[in-house]
Amino acid sequence: MGWAGPDAPARPDRPAAAILTPDLLLAAYRIGVFPMADPDGDVAWYAPDPRAVLPLDAFHVSKTLAKTVRRGEFEVVVDRDFEGTMRACAAPAPDRPETWISDELVEAYVSLHEWGYAHSVECWQDGAFAGGLYGVALKGAFFGESMVTRVRDASKVALVHLVERLRAGGFRLLDTQMSTPHLARFGVVEIPRATFERRLALALATEADWSAIDTLDGDER
């Protein structure tokens, strides 16, 4: 399941071929723009209005999902296989025969991951990848890019752990780009583009720590 959708309005509507670098990606995220590829592989920039965000203080977890998290059915890790997670998100699915994640995007985001800005939250079960998500962490903002499930509830569990990590690290904004009925159940709301830009500016003025949760003990979490 992707956090971005193919019907998002583009701004500007021009291909990004041959210039999709980590520097360009970071510059785009700083102004609230993200890339997506069409079925032919051409990349354009998107800036939805309204924009969907998940307020970290209003994240909703159902009782059923909370029980699944507590049972510890999955080993939840970060950045074990970022590229593999991204390629799993790109793989065709019954409800999504085509992907907006091209090889060019994979290469660019893997480079961004190597720079320390792109991260994955992964669920593993019996030694196999079960699902997860990936996105970009920049100052106090996390930009969710895509989610995937191979085992029931795996991506949902990954999202729960993502929110826990962002809260612990002092993040102020979780951008989901587009809203879906699935994401709305977690508390995702749509806000005007101008409001998003103001919240983004505040988040980018905040120093956050992606790894802060790794230094906490169980009681502090």
Dihedral angle, C-alpha 24, 25, 28, 30, nearest 10 °? -110
- If you search the block for the tokens 């906490």, which residue do you land on? 216
Find the distance separating the first CA and the last CA of the chain, reported in whole Å: 28
- pTM, rounded to two decimals: 0.89
Say how many C-beta atoms besides its own lie within 10 A of residue 113's C-beta: 20
3-state secondary structure of 45: strand
pLDDT in tens, the chain (221 residues): 335 443 444 444 444 444 799 999 999 999 999 999 988 888 999 999 999 999 999 999 999 999 999 999 999 999 999 999 999 999 987 666 678 999 999 999 999 999 999 999 999 999 999 999 999 999 999 999 999 999 999 999 999 999 999 999 999 999 999 988 888 899 999 999 999 999 999 999 999 999 999 987 555 55
Query: For 158, phi and psi rounded to 5 degrees?
Result: -60, -40
CATH 3.50.50.60 for domain 22-215, yes or no, is no
Polymer length in residues for the chain: 221
